């Protein structure tokens, strides 16, 4: 049997029996035959190569399901196999999950990876969720067929439950007992009908992280935990000046360190071209062990060359303000009605400006990669999220054919978008080629903070025109920011405002007179291309400003948002729900969040309540905070997140993701900022790039998921744009201080 995959290639369901009598089912790609990959033995035996979603059923009935995603903390190691298990009709307790390597799907380019980039391809999600369920259903179909043959009954008479095929007369056969017979059957044609959601017994059930035990015992392997024989450790001392070059360097002392075997220079990116390899010029210290490499780096003496120093953040902010002071110019992003005229006729005009700093991803596990590129083959072990692009990078740098590349996908210690980049894979490949041995590249924390694809810097100028009833008639948003498109291969050819000022961000489309303009700012710091649709930049400004407009018009800030969304201001969640259309889904999340955070409830404890909401392609989120400012501390008593992210595969995992995303975004909002001094990034450790700690995280966290039958998002947003404005709004409610510049804490302390 065959089916077409997304690239239009024909793929065949492959069924086989292993030496130990287990049934093995997977996809074999018809063309572009990849060579045998380093697949987990317990999953594969020696039978198959190039598999997609797949399943192994042991003779004793145990089930192994391959996890096809890249686990970075978003829970796909658990949630994707749940889809397979659901349609397979096994008990989740029978299932063991094993991570699959790269290479499960065929593309026009040879092997590819379908589930590598969660959150980047929203239109694919519905299809992905169906594909994995179909994989489970096909295996079930084989087992039913085998049982029908055994009993001489029609397939239609049989059903399955908890790893058994059941006959109408009460007889039953374990899947394990059918494995051998099923392996001899020709694969079924069309997938058997999928279950109706009412029959789900795994999808929608709170399910704990499938490899939690390995993690809490220290057995789980992250990219940094991989070792292979003969591998040398490499650490790179990189040019601290963005765009700078290596001058002379003295490695005399470094080479004297016992264990250091090589010191070599690495070129930086070519000026003005997209970043495709290393982000910075550097000197790699290669050693037999990590400590020798670290010592070697400390003893290395380097001189760096630079052109004009990069502008400080203050200079960048002044340049942005000057652009925004000019009354015209900028790239038009969207214009409706006549804002200029609305402004002249308005009863009132409200204006405010907001500033956001560069942010680092600061994943807990620093970037790194272990590669072996000898004798025409490549092996890569790394915490990455876009293995397709990693393979492309390896081919570009070494000429090794795509089908001679094996990529293992260990767990990743966080991503937030950082691991969609493969600059560190490129570095490891370059060093490994130069030394002719496998190389394990380690990034120190300072390397990570000083060499990132930063979330962009920007200043927003907003203006709203109000009529006599303080309704918004016109909206102007002019944003000066460092474009994500700059030197980013993934964004080439896209307009400069991409991912910074959205043409249909709330409330665009909901006001009569609209003017959105963008002013590109220059900076040599690399920027995150923002390929995740949850990384919305303008929301801090728009959702803070809506509160300022409400206050100026003596309106309720939630009512004002509901009015824009076309909802009756008296609507409550029960009146609005069940949400269907996009605006209704957002309005529902907002009103429910207002309820949960105690919006509008009079209080005399000095606590402030703030709220904000945000919609992306397929998630609708609202955040609310109850907080107080106590001396120089900001105490968050309650943090609420209401999220409509489609159908939930694993409520426990999605809750964790929403909670974590909220806290990670809080960390960014309160403390996060990358700044420059003498043209260098100042933040090189966690003392200077502060993260949220246990003590300053919210006292109480409430996460509510809106029931939905829309296609699932598969992974909740890891960056939650409405956190920052909800927090700033709550700070205003508690203190009457309006924070218009992030990070919030230093600015609040300055203003108080």
Partner 1 sequence: MTRNAEQAIASTAAADPVEPAALRLPPVPLALKINGEDYFHEGDPAMPLLWFLRDRLRLTGTKYACDSGVCGACTVLVDGAATHACTLRMQAAAGKAVTTIEGLGKSVLHPLQQAWIEEDAVLCGYCQPGQIMAAAALLQRKPQPRESEIDALPNLCRCGAYPRIRSAIQRAAEVMRANAK
Residue 221 contact partner, candidates ligand FES, partner 1, none, CB within 5 to 8 A by sort of partner: partner 1
**253 binds partner 1 per the rule CB under 8 A:** yes
Query: Which residues lie across from 518 on neighbouring strands?
Result: 331, 479
Among 2, 290, 321, 675, binds partner 1 (CB under 8 A): 290
Nearer to partner 1, 252 or 332 (CB): 252
Q: How far is the CB of 240 from partner 1 (least distance, A)?
A: 7
**667 binds partner 1 per the rule CB under 8 A:** yes
Backbone angles phi, psi at 520, to 5 degrees: -70, 135
Among 1, 161, 228, 364, binds ligand FES (CB under 6 A): 364
**8 binds partner 1 per the rule CB under 8 A:** no
Q: What's the full length of the chain, in residues?
A: 752
Span interacting with partner 1, options 79-87, 276-284, 363-371, 525-533, rule CB under 8 A: 363-371
**366 binds partner 1 per the rule CB under 8 A:** yes
**108 binds partner 1 per the rule CB under 8 A:** no
Among 266, 429, 558, 656, binds partner 1 (CB under 8 A): 656
Q: How far is the CB of 215 from ligand FES (least distance, A)?
A: 9
Residue 661 contact partner, candidates partner 1, ligand FES, none, CB within 5 to 8 A by sort of partner: partner 1
CB 524 within 8 A of CB 243: yes
Query: Which residue matches tokens 């969207």?
Result: 334
Among 101, 110, 499, 660, binds partner 1 (CB under 8 A): 660
What is the C-alpha to C-alpha distance for residues 248 and 236, in angstroms, rounded to an integer? 15
**624 binds ligand FES per the rule CB under 6 A:** no
Other C-beta atoms closer than 10 Å to the C-beta of 93 total: 7
Which token pair is 350?
A: 């409200």
What is the C-alpha to C-alpha distance for residues 442 and 234, in angstroms, rounded to an integer? 6
Nearer to ligand FES, 291 or 581 (CB): 291
Other C-beta atoms closer than 10 Å to the C-beta of 688 total: 14
**212 binds ligand FES per the rule CB under 6 A:** no
Backbone angles phi, psi at 738, to 5 degrees: -95, 115
Q: Is 750 helix (H, G, I), strand (E, B) or coil?
A: helix
Q: How far is the CB of 365 from ligand FES (least distance, A)?
A: 8
Angle 747-751-752 (CA atoms, 0-180°, nearest 5)?
115
Backbone angles phi, psi at 113, to 5 degrees: -135, 125
**414 binds ligand FES per the rule CB under 6 A:** yes
Among 68, 282, 413, 524, binds partner 1 (CB under 8 A): 413
**520 binds partner 1 per the rule CB under 8 A:** no
Residue 300 contact partner, candidates partner 1, ligand FES, none, CB within 5 to 8 A by sort of partner: partner 1
Backbone angles phi, psi at 55, to 5 degrees: -140, 140
Angle 169-173-178 (CA atoms, 0-180°, nearest 5)?
140
For residue 378, give the H/E element and its range: strand 378-381
Residue 427: closest CA among 386, 380, 489: 380
**713 binds partner 1 per the rule CB under 8 A:** no
Residue 130: closest CA among 76, 181, 191: 191
CB neighbour list of residue 71: distance below 8 Å, 6 or more residues apart: 77, 99, 409, 411, 412
Window 533-552: contact mask with ligand FES (x via CB under 6 A): --------------------
Query: Which residue matches tokens 């920027």?
Result: 527
Residue 525: closest CA among 561, 494, 484: 484
Window 17-56: contact mask with ligand FES (x via CB under 6 A): ----------------------------------------
Q: How far is the CB of 117 from ligand FES (least distance, A)?
A: 19
Nearer to partner 1, 55 or 727 (CB): 727
Q: How far is the CB of 658 from ligand FES (least distance, A)?
A: 14
Distance (Å) of CA 90 to CA 131, 136, 200, 207, 619: 18, 10, 11, 14, 30
Nearer to ligand FES, 106 or 367 (CB): 367
**73 binds ligand FES per the rule CB under 6 A:** yes
Residue 213 contact partner, candidates partner 1, ligand FES, none, CB within 5 to 8 A by sort of partner: partner 1
Nearer to partner 1, 628 or 691 (CB): 691
Window 192-221: contact mask with partner 1 (x via CB under 8 A): ----------------xx-xxx-xxxxxxx
**305 binds partner 1 per the rule CB under 8 A:** no
CB 227 within 8 A of CB 290: no
**659 binds partner 1 per the rule CB under 8 A:** yes
Nearer to ligand FES, 41 or 694 (CB): 694
**657 binds partner 1 per the rule CB under 8 A:** yes
Among 1, 258, 326, 752, binds partner 1 (CB under 8 A): 258
Residue 133: closest CA among 714, 717, 716, 658: 714
What is the C-alpha to C-alpha distance for residues 441 and 733, in angstroms, rounded to an integer? 48
Query: Which residue matches tokens 């501390």?
Result: 633
Window 63-102: contact mask with partner 1 (x via CB under 8 A): ---------xx-----------------------------
Binding footprint of ligand FES, residue count (CB under 6 A): 3
Which token pair is 215?
A: 């993690």
What is the C-alpha to C-alpha distance for residues 660 and 285, in angstroms, rounded to an integer? 36
**456 binds ligand FES per the rule CB under 6 A:** no
**643 binds partner 1 per the rule CB under 8 A:** no
Residue 659 contact partner, candidates ligand FES, partner 1, none, CB within 5 to 8 A by sort of partner: partner 1
Nearer to partner 1, 209 or 246 (CB): 209
**261 binds partner 1 per the rule CB under 8 A:** no
CB 324 within 8 A of CB 461: yes
CB neighbour list of residue 270: distance below 8 Å, 6 or more residues apart: none
Q: How far is the CB of 78 from ligand FES (least distance, A)?
A: 14
Nearer to ligand FES, 54 or 416 (CB): 416
What is the C-alpha to C-alpha distance for residues 297 and 279, in angstroms, rounded to an integer? 18
Which token pair is 645?
A: 């992210």
Four-residue CA torsion sign, 56, 58, 59, 62: negative
Residue 253: closest CA among 285, 289, 214, 221: 285
Do the bridges between strand 63-67 and strand 55-57 make them parallel or antiparallel, or are there none, so unpaired?
antiparallel
**215 binds ligand FES per the rule CB under 6 A:** no
Window 19-58: contact mask with partner 1 (x via CB under 8 A): ----------------------------------------
CB 569 within 8 A of CB 563: yes
Q: What is the DSSP letter of 398?
A: H
Residue 63: closest CA among 196, 129, 160: 160
Q: How far is the CB of 73 from ligand FES (least distance, A)?
A: 5
**61 binds partner 1 per the rule CB under 8 A:** no
CB neighbour list of residue 522: distance below 8 Å, 6 or more residues apart: 482
Residue 25: closest CA among 155, 184, 148: 184
CB neighbour list of residue 576: distance below 8 Å, 6 or more residues apart: 567, 584, 587, 588, 591
Q: How far is the CB of 362 from ligand FES (least distance, A)?
A: 10
Q: How far is the CB of 563 from partner 1 (least distance, A)?
A: 33
**258 binds ligand FES per the rule CB under 6 A:** no
Nearer to partner 1, 545 or 625 (CB): 625
CB 336 within 8 A of CB 503: no
- Which residues would be at the binding site for ligand FES (CB under 6 A)? 73, 364, 414
- Which residues would be at the binding site for partner 1 (CB under 8 A)? 72-73, 208-209, 211-213, 215-222, 224-225, 227, 233, 237, 240, 253, 258, 289-291, 294-295, 298-302, 362-366, 411-416, 442, 444-445, 652-653, 656-657, 659-664, 666-667, 685-687, 691-695, 697-698, 701
């Amino acid at each position: 049997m065959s089916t077409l995959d997304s690239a239009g290639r024909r793929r065949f369901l492959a069924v086989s029996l292993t030496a130990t009598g287990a049934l093995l089912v997977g996809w074999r790609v018809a063309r572009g035959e990849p060579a045998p990959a380093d697949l987990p033995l317990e999953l594969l035996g020696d039978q198959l190569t190039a598999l997609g979603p797949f399943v192994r059923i042991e003779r004793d009935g145990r089930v192994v399901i391959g996890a096809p995603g890249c686990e970075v903390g978003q829970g796909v190691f658990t949630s994707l196999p749940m889809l397979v298990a659901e349609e397979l009709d096994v008990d989740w307790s029978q299932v063991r999950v094993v991570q699959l390597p790269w290479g499960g799907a065929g593309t026009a380019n040879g092997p590819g990876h379908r589930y590598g980039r969660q959150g980047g391809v929203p239109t694919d999600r519905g299809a992905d969720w169906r594909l994995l369920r179909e994989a489970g259903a096909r295996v079930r179909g084989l087992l039913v067929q085998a049982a029908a043959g055994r009993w001489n009954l029609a397939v239609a008479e049989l059903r399955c439950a908890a790893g058994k095929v059941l006959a109408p007369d009460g007889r039953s056969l374990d899947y394990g007992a059918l494995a051998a017979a099923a392996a001899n059957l020709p694969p079924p044609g069309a997938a058997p009908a999928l279950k109706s959601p009412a029959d789900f017994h795994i999808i929608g059930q709170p399910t704990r992280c499938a490899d939690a035990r390995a993690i809490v015992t220290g057995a789980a392997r992250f990219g940094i935990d991989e070792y292979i024989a003969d591998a040398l450790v490499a650490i790179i001392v990189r040019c601290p000046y963005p765009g700078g070059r290596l001058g002379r360097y003295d490695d005399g002392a470094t080479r004297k360190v016992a264990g250091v075997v090589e010191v070599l220079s690495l070129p930086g990116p070519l000026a003005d071209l997209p970043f495709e390899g290393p982000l910075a010029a550097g000197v790699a210290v290669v050693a037999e062990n990590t400590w020798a490499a670290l010592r070697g780096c400390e003893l290395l003496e380097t001189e760096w060359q630079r052109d004009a120093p990069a502008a400080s953040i203050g200079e960048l902010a002044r340049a942005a303000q000057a652009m925004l002071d000019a009354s015209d110019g900028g790239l038009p992003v969207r214009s409706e009605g006549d804002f200029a005229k609305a402004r002249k006729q308005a009863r009132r005009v409200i204006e405010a400006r907001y500033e956001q700093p560069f942010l680092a991803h600061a994943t807990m596990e620093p970037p790194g990669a272990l590669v072996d590129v000898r004798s025409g083959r490549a092996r890569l072990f790394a915490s990455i999220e876009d293995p397709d692009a990693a393979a492309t990078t390896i081919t570009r740098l070494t000429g090794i054919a795509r089908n001679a590349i094996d990529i293992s996908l260990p767990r990743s210690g966080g991503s937030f978008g950082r691991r969609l980049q493969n600059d560190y894979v490129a570095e490891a490949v370059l060093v490994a080629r130069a030394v002719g041995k496998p190389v394990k590249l380690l990034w120190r924390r300072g390397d990570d903070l000083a060499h990132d694809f930063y979330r962009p810097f920007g200043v927003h100028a907003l203006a709203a025109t109000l009529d006599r009833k303080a309704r918004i008639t016109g909206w102007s948003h002019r944003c000066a920011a460092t474009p994500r498109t700059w030197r980013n291969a993934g964004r080439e050819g896209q307009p400069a405002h991409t991912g910074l000022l959205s043409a249909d961000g709330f409330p665009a489309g909901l006001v009569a007179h609209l003017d959105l303009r963008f002013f590109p700012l220059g900076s040599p710091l690399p920027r995150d291309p923002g390929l995740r649709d949850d990384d919305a930049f303008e929301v801090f400004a728009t959702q803070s400003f809506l509160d300022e407009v409400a206050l100026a018009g003596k309106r309720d800030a939630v009512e004002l948002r509901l009015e824009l969304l076309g909802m009756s201001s008296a609507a409550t969640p029960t009146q609005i729900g069940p949400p269907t259309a996009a605006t209704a889904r957002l309005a529902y999340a907002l009103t429910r969040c207002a309820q949960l955070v105690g919006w509008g409830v009079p209080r005399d404890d000095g606590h402030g309540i703030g709220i904000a909401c945000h919609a992306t392609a397929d998630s609708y989120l609202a955040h609310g905070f109850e907080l107080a400012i106590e001396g120089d501390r900001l105490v968050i008593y309650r943090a609420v997140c209401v999220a409509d992210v489609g159908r939930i595969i694993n409520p426990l995992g999605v809750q964790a993701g929403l909670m974590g995303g909220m806290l990670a975004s809080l960390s960014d909002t309160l403390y996060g900022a990358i700044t420059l001094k003498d043209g260098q990034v100042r933040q090189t450790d966690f003392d200077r790039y502060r993260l949220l700690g246990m003590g300053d995280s919210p006292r109480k966290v409430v996460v509510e998921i809106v029931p939905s039958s829309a296609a699932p998002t598969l992974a909740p947003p890891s960056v939650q744009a409405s956190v920052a404005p909800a927090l700033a709004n709550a700070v205003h409610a508690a203190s009457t201080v309006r924070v218009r510049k992030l990070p919030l804490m230093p600015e609040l302390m300055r203003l108080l």
